[in-house]
Amino acid sequence: MCTCATYKTKDHYFGRNLDLEFSYQESVTVTPRNFPIPFRTKETLTHHYALIGMAFVCSGFPLYYDATNEFGLSMAGLNFPGNGFFGEPEADGKDNISPFEFIPWILGQCKNLSEAKTLLGNIRLVNIPFSSQLPITPLHWMIADQNGCIVVESVRDGLHIYDNPVGVMTNNPTFDIQLFRLNDYRGVSAAASENTFAKGLDLDAYSRGMGGIGIPGDLSSGSRFVKVAFTKMNSVSDDSEDSSVSQFFHILGSVEQQRGCCDLGDGKYEITIYSSCCNMDRGIYYYRTYDNSQISAVDMHRENLDGSSLASYPLITKQQIRQVN
């Protein structure tokens, strides 16, 4: 399970937690404009917009978990078990795109959310696995630019595109239900709550933070959606890069998973393998990992974006501790 979010100060930010029990040896990967991106039912994109994001590079193909292109359009795929459905390709003029190639298909060709919506109008997400060893994963996606955010879900009755006014996403249930459930928490507040329990009954605010009583704190996807939406929409930082990036990681940290708290059996535990934050305006991809809380960064504009070869940077997973005495 995972969590995705946007954030805005002076610049715009997009990132996610990847929550799993194992790693695919993912790396921060820059795909330059002239790297050929092949598609299973469409022609190879030999020239496209440059991308940066987290990917598992398999047989030379960047399987992106999340990415941002050179114009700031950003996209992440999150697990959607039991709901994600991908049919068979059809020859009806629509673009038959597999989930594993969906991110480069959109980000390679679209500068903004408006162009992405146009491309989505002619797309069918289909059941074509990357390989027999890497079958289709049920996913849904959040797509955002500097001005808006949507969620894309392919389910049995078709492709659904939702406007996302809170700029966050988790996993199940479907996004419309997740968004509706926020109504259950309309009374919570970042400020101290008023005593409305009963007239004449004197009740004390014995602790700070009591305005948020009722916000769930468990690790289920529905609870994480509520918690990260509340945290993100009430977050305050100055507009410097350091403060903005730091605050973004605190937002994701409000729903990160610690080893031992989500027991999958057989000695396996779901953890937050990495958290990411990409400055959508500058193309700088920041991340930290479960065992390394130091923030590392890769700047796409320090690469040759007119090149034809991937640039991949393995994650720094060993804890970096600064000894001060």
* pLDDT tens track for 188-234: 999 988 888 899 999 888 898 988 999 999 999 999 999 999 999 99
The first and second tokens of residue 46, run together, are 């030999």
Reported as half-sphere exposure (CB side, CA atoms, 13 A), residue 164 has a value of 30
Length of the chain: 325
At 126 the pLDDT is 97
What distance in Å separates the CA atoms of residue 195 and residue 205, rounded to the nearest whole number? 8
At 248 the pLDDT is 98
The first and second tokens of residue 260, run together, are 């031992």
DSSP code string of 179-190: HHHGGGGTT--S
What distance in Å separates the CA atoms of residue 277 and residue 12, rounded to the nearest whole number? 10
Neighbours of 297 (CB within 10 A): 15
At 244 the pLDDT is 98
* pLDDT tens track for 287-302: 999 999 999 999 999 9
The answer to whether residues 150 and 162 touch, using CB atoms and an 8 Å cutoff, is: yes
Please confirm whether the linkage preceding 173 is cis (ω < 30° from 0): yes
What distance in Å separates the CA atoms of residue 160 and residue 120, rounded to the nearest whole number? 10
The answer to whether residues 298 and 290 touch, using CB atoms and an 8 Å cutoff, is: no
Catalytic residue list contains 2 = yes
At 284 the pLDDT is 98
Which residue positions in the chain have pLDDT lower than 70?
none
* pLDDT tens track for 142-160: 999 999 999 999 999 999 9
Helix, strand, coil % in the chain, rounded to nearest 5: 20, 35, 50
DSSP code string of 227-279: HHHHHHHH----SSHHHHHHHHHHHHHTT---TTSSEEETTEE-EEEEEEEEE
At 196 the pLDDT is 87
Say what angle helices 241-253 and 221-234 make with each other, to 10 degrees: 150
At 223 the pLDDT is 96
Catalytic residue among 2, 4, 110, 278: 2
